[in-house]
Amino acid sequence: MQGDTLCEPDRRAARASEVAAGVMCMLFGCAGASRADYALNLPPPATGIARQIYDLHTLILWICAAILVVVFVPMVIALVRHRRSAGHVAHRFHDNLRLEILWTVIPVLILVGMAYPATKTVIEMKDWSASDMTIKVVGRQWKWEYEYVDEDLRFISTLSTPRSEIDNASAKNANYLLEVDRPLVVPTGAKIKLILTASDVIHAWWIPAFGVKQDAVPGFIRETWFRVDEPGTYRGQCAELCGVGHGFMPIVVEAVTPERFLSWKTEQRTQMAALKEASTREYTLTELVGHGEKVYAANCAVCHQANGGGVPPAFPPLDGSKLVAGPAGDHLDRVFNGRSGTAMQAFGPQLSDFDIAAVVTFERNSWSNRIGDMVQPAQVAALRKQP
Amino acid sequence: MHTATIDDSAHHDEHPYGLMRWVTTTNHKDIGTLYLWFSFVMFLAAGSMAMLIRMELFQPGLQLVQPELFNQLTTMHGLLMIFGAIMPAFVGFANWQVPLMIGAPDMAFPRLNNWSFWLLPVAATLLIASLFVPGGAVAGGWTLYPPLFIQGGIAYDMAILAMHILGLSSIMGAINIITTILNMRAPGMTMMKMPMFVWTWLITAYLLVAVMPVLACAITMLLTDRHFGTHFFDAAGGGDPVLFQHIFWFFGHPEVYIMILPAFGIISTIIPTFSRKPLFGYVSMVIAVASIAVLSFIVWAHHMFSTGMPLGGQLFFMYSTMLIAVPTGVKVFNWLATLWRGSISFETPMLFSLAVVCLFTLGGFSGLVLGLVPVDIQLQDTYYVVAHFHYVLFSGAAMSIMAGVYYWLPKWTGHMYDETVGKWHFWLTTIAFNVTFFPMHFLGLAGMPRRIPDYAMQFEGFNSIASVGAIVLGLSQLLFLYCVVKCIRGGAAAGDRPWDGADSLEWTLSSPPPYHSFAVPPQVR
Ligand SMILES: [Cu+2]
């Protein structure tokens, strides 16, 4: 969960943790430890705020270590020297006003010392004024939607780890569960303001290396900000329990130079135009099923499962489903508008006409479903025009 | 009141035998025993769930449990441990010990006492049965946050009902304890002569009476949101999901102290006994407990720093949270001063108590780290939080319960427990506990969210270690069961006062004590 480069002290820390790992492995004889790293501290900070948090944490850790010594050294001395088995006879004192006042006042002073730097950082974290760019983040079960406000650029970012890796059917790649189909791309050096909300339940947007974690609350707008200095890929996850797919909604941010960001934007525009274009064509059954399979894997398989079996009763099976076997119009309507009061969300606002047409067609012609008909993007467009 | 009890005592000694003795009992010792056994059964049930969770998390990928079941297991583990294991265990201690320690014949309301216990199995059955209804048990975490909680099936209504019943039981128990302590102390026992355990329970009982109704409100609002068209927590109808979190944690934070203050009471009883020295700073200890209780009402939103509070709110709750470190520190310092220049011996209850002092202090430190808003933003909802509250609730609360059981078992049964088995239980528990939970600090710092059924590759090492620790920790508790059962069935006679350093009133009675504790109220100097 860090930038791809490690600076010198971090490398030293990494070596230290390898040694620790070696010791742990000898102690516990655990297999497969070779591919895991035993990170002992916060990830290397990528923003100024994360740096401050890192330093604050280090400071408190040292203070706690000092208190630990002050508290436990006398305790160990007492446990060794004042044992009954060592023949020590108990004294009967049970009060010492001066001592008791002392160990009330000193902690207060230490706490004030901690509160001062913490307060400074909190104030800075809460200051999202004078930002260079605003991005709207919407949490959905279980994906993130990003919208570059004032840029007419909007896309959805979902987990791209193949199901077979999760089910242990194929080897896991290095970014297992921390990879998405479309990362959020931001320019380095710019103050990025995020405005967050959610469409269903509470989610939390979190990149450890940024020191940013903010709940996305349905029906409300929350704000936070970050400024990345170094180009790189930064990875995080949804941090608030949001249902079955909670462990499977990662966040990936790619920080690129401002020039590279401009060209990325142009690319996106062209791609979006192509997507719009794709939604105006007619397709064959094979084309629709082929594309629909990909859309299904990215959007539907978490609940309805790759084999269409679902997890009844919360997530009904699509294989042999009455709704799928019924008229295509009803089936399309359910996918487009969702079903309120259940986890079935409305995909109309999330997917393109082509995507929706393809996934409905795929569901009608997969597993044991052999309906044989199809839905064209034009039908979805017509549904979209309805009030 | 005292005279009436004396006159009646002889005929009260007649009680039904067999099962009916336990169903109809109004005796504080029988009810205490029921509470303790109930909580142990819940401890094993919820612990088994934790072991299943840890087995799934032994390596990346989904192996044993699918995400739906995983979320149910984490939620049920939390609910059963808190409401089924820890809280009833402390009420069990209160039932056994409060009358014995204040020189009372029984609790103030014996029939109410019977009720408050027998509600528990009903609630537990509802909760556990909800695992087997269509859709499975509650899966939104023990914190029950909406809107996720609104999405679930019938199990969610069963859980709400179960928690109402548990809350009712707790309130009844608390009222009983308050009345007993305030009205039934032996002549001469002024408030400031009460044993520390009684003090901590008096304050805990007030906390219970204050906050359990708040929980009841919160879950009733969830229920009406689910079924009766209200929108307390639904933005679309003018409500606010975060409102629930405020109400919940207004209950939830005092709840944490409800689970730790009686533990402080047990530790403050055991350490002086085995140091053969009076408790250091009795008065400051009482003040510390009371101020922790008062402060617990103004820190709740530190559980919610990442929800997006205004700056002023974050700063207020950060400062008030840090303040709690002061009275907590006073308690630890007082325990140390009690040890200092004592004549210390290391029987099992003392070993557990010393471990509690050390490990709870670590949990206090991680609490302080989490109290600072910027660091909390980084660590909220990670394994660091999981590590923190297990250091407080397992090595704080649960291990104090174990300490207390070993300490009073000779009094309760009349037999000495097996010291060798007890020590094995202690060392296995303490080592396995640290192997399980210490690595979780590192996992949280490195960025592993909590409540996920599967994780990224870099978290594998410490997760495997934690899982091995958890299995050993779970299995070690069978030693506890063995030791307790062995002690009940026989062993060396304990005598009235097996611990030479103990000086509270229960040790003046025989072991086990007579069915009615103090038929004649003792005179306290
Ligand atoms: Cu989420």
The CATH number of residue A326's host domain is 1.10.760.10
What is the secondary structure of A121-161 as a DSSP string? Answer: HHHHHT---S-SEEEEEEEETTEEEEEETTTTEEEEE-B-S
Give tens-digit pLDDT for A360-383: 999 998 888 888 888 888 888 888
Chain A CB contacts of B140 below 8 Å? 241, 243
What is the secondary structure of B82-139 as a DSSP string? Answer: IIIIIHHHHHHHHHHHHHHHHT-SS-S-HHHHHHHHHHHHHHHHHHHHGGGSTT-S--
On whether the CB atoms of residues B273 and B502 are closer than 8 A, the answer is: yes
Angle at B437 between CA B431 and CA B442, to 5 degrees: 125
Predicted local distance difference test score (pLDDT) of residue A339: 82
Place of tokens 């730790």: B260
Query: What SS3 state is found at A34?
Result: helix
Phi first, then psi: give them for residue A256, nearest 5 degrees.
-125, 165
Verify whether the Cβ–Cβ distance A68 to B365 is below 8 Å. yes
Predicted local distance difference test score (pLDDT) of residue B320: 93
Please return the burial class of A259, using the count of CB atoms within 10 Å of its CB with bins 0-12, 13-18 and 19+: exposed
Predicted local distance difference test score (pLDDT) of residue B45: 95
Q: Which of B253, B385, B457 is nearest to A171 (CA)?
A: B457
Judgement on whether residues A332 and A370 belong to the same structural domain of the protein: yes
Distance from CA of B12 to the nearest CA of A (A): 42
DSSP state of A315: B
Verify whether the Cβ–Cβ distance A107 to B340 is below 8 Å. no
Angle at B253 between CA B251 and CA B259, to 5 degrees: 100
As a whole number of angstroms, the distance between CA B454 and CA B42 comes to 26
Give tens-digit pLDDT for B247-264: 999 999 999 999 999 999
B257 is catalytic: yes
> Which amino acid is residue B98, in one-letter code?
V
Judgement on whether residues A165 and A94 belong to the same structural domain of the protein: no
Nearby residues of B445 by Cβ (< 8 Å), 6 or more positions away: A39, A40, A41, A42, A57, B379, B382, B384
Catalytic position from the list B255, B347, B376, B418:
B255
Place of tokens 């906050």: B211
Q: What is the mean pLDDT of chain B?
A: 91
Q: Which of A384, A280, A380 is nearest to A332 (CA)?
A: A380
Rounding to the nearest 10 degrees, give the CA dihedral for residues A54, A59, A62, A68.
-110
Give tens-digit pLDDT for A77-115: 999 988 888 888 878 777 788 888 888 888 899 999 889
Which residues of A, range 55-94, sit inside 8 Å of B by Cβ? 56-57, 60-61, 64, 67-68, 71-72, 74-75, 78-79, 82-85, 88-94
Predicted local distance difference test score (pLDDT) of residue B520: 84
Which of B9-44 are b and which e, b meaning 16 or more Cβ less than 10 Å from the residue's Cβ?
beebeeeeeeeeebeebbbbbbbbbbbbebbbbbbb
Nearby residues of B499 by Cβ (< 8 Å), 6 or more positions away: B273, B274, B347, B407, B507
Which residues of A, range 183-202, sit inside 8 Å of B by Cβ? 200-202
Question: What ipTM does the predicted assembly reach?
Answer: 0.89
Q: Is residue A13 pLDDT above 50, yes or no? A: no
What are the residue ranges spanned by the domains of chain B? 28-507
**pLDDT tier for residue A6 given thresholds of 50, 70 and 90:** very low
As a whole number of angstroms, the distance between CA B435 and CA B443 comes to 13
- Out of B242, B378, B462, name the one closest to residue A213 (CB): B378
Q: Which of A72, A101, A125 is the last residue of a domain?
A: A125
Percent of chain A with pLDDT over 70: 90
As a whole number of angstroms, the distance between CA B499 and CA B408 comes to 10
As a whole number of angstroms, the distance between CA A89 and CA A110 comes to 36
Judgement on whether residues A31 and A14 belong to the same structural domain of the protein: yes
Judgement on whether residues A110 and A148 belong to the same structural domain of the protein: no
pTM value surpassing 0.80? yes
DSSP state of A321: -
Please name the helix (run of DSSP H) or strand (run of DSSP E) that holds residue A233, with its range, or none: strand A232-237
How many domains in chain A? 4
B170 is catalytic: yes
Q: Is A303 on the interface with B (CB under 8 A)?
A: no
- Pairing label, strands A222-226, A192-198: antiparallel
Predicted local distance difference test score (pLDDT) of residue B14: 64
Chain A CB contacts of B308 below 8 Å? 214-215, 217, 220, 222-224
CA neighbours within 13 Å on the CB side: how many for B216?
14
Predicted local distance difference test score (pLDDT) of residue B169: 94
Please return the burial class of A190, using the count of CB atoms within 10 Å of its CB with bins 0-12, 13-18 and 19+: middle
Predicted local distance difference test score (pLDDT) of residue A351: 84
**Domain B28-507 indexed as CATH 1.20.210.10:** yes
Residue A154 domain boundaries: 133-276
Residues composing chain B = 525
Place of tokens 């808190």: B82
- Pairing label, strands A143-148, A133-140: antiparallel
Catalytic position from the list B28, B77, B226, B415:
B77
Judgement on whether residues A71 and A14 belong to the same structural domain of the protein: no
Judgement on whether residues A153 and A270 belong to the same structural domain of the protein: yes
Q: Which of B231, B420, B382 is nearest to B305 (CA)?
A: B382
Predicted local distance difference test score (pLDDT) of residue B491: 85
On whether the CB atoms of residues B307 and A50 are closer than 8 A, the answer is: no
Q: Which of A350, A183, A351, A176 is nearest to A256 (CA)?
A: A183
Judgement on whether residues A150 and A269 belong to the same structural domain of the protein: yes
As a whole number of angstroms, the distance between CA A137 and CA A321 comes to 34
Judgement on whether residues A283 and A272 belong to the same structural domain of the protein: no
As a whole number of angstroms, the distance between CA A275 and CA B317 comes to 49
Place of tokens 């009141």: B1
Q: Nearest residue of A to residue B312 by CA position? A: A123
Which comes out higher in pLDDT, residue A2 or A178?
A: A178
Q: How far away, in angstroms, is A214 Cα from ligand 1 center? A: 11
As a whole number of angstroms, the distance between CA B513 and CA B412 comes to 7
Judgement on whether residues A326 and A352 belong to the same structural domain of the protein: yes
Predicted local distance difference test score (pLDDT) of residue A60: 93
Judgement on whether residues A269 and A284 belong to the same structural domain of the protein: no
Sheet with strand A192-198: strands edge to edge = A153-157, A143-148, A133-140, A192-198, A222-226
Predicted local distance difference test score (pLDDT) of residue B5: 41
Predicted local distance difference test score (pLDDT) of residue A301: 83
Predicted local distance difference test score (pLDDT) of residue A163: 84
Q: Is residue A1 pLDDT above 60, yes or no? A: no
As a whole number of angstroms, the distance between CA B215 and CA B171 comes to 12
Which of B302-339 are b and which e, b meaning 16 or more Cβ less than 10 Å from the residue's Cβ?
bbbbbbbbeeeebbbbbbbbbbbbbbbbbbbbbbbbbb
Q: Which value, in Å, is the radius of gyration of the alpha carbons in chain A?
A: 28
Predicted local distance difference test score (pLDDT) of residue A347: 86
Q: Where are the alpha helices (DSSP H) in B447-509?
A: 460-489
Judgement on whether residues A147 and A252 belong to the same structural domain of the protein: yes
- Out of B340, B343, B457, name the one closest to residue A84 (CB): B343
As a whole number of angstroms, the distance between CA B99 and CA B183 comes to 11
Mean pLDDT by 10 residues, chain B (525 residues): 41 68 88 95 95 94 90 94 95 94 91 93 93 87 89 88 94 95 92 94 95 95 91 89 94 94 95 93 93 93 92 94 92 92 92 95 93 94 95 95 95 93 96 96 94 92 94 95 93 89 90 86 81
Q: Which of B450, B427, B339, B206 is nearest to A93 (CA)?
A: B339
How many Cβ atoms from other residues are within 10 Å of residue B86's Cβ?
A: 27
Q: Which of B393, B370, B395, B257 is nearest to B303 (CA)?
A: B370
Please name the helix (run of DSSP H) or strand (run of DSSP E) that holds residue B183, with its range, or none: helix B154-183
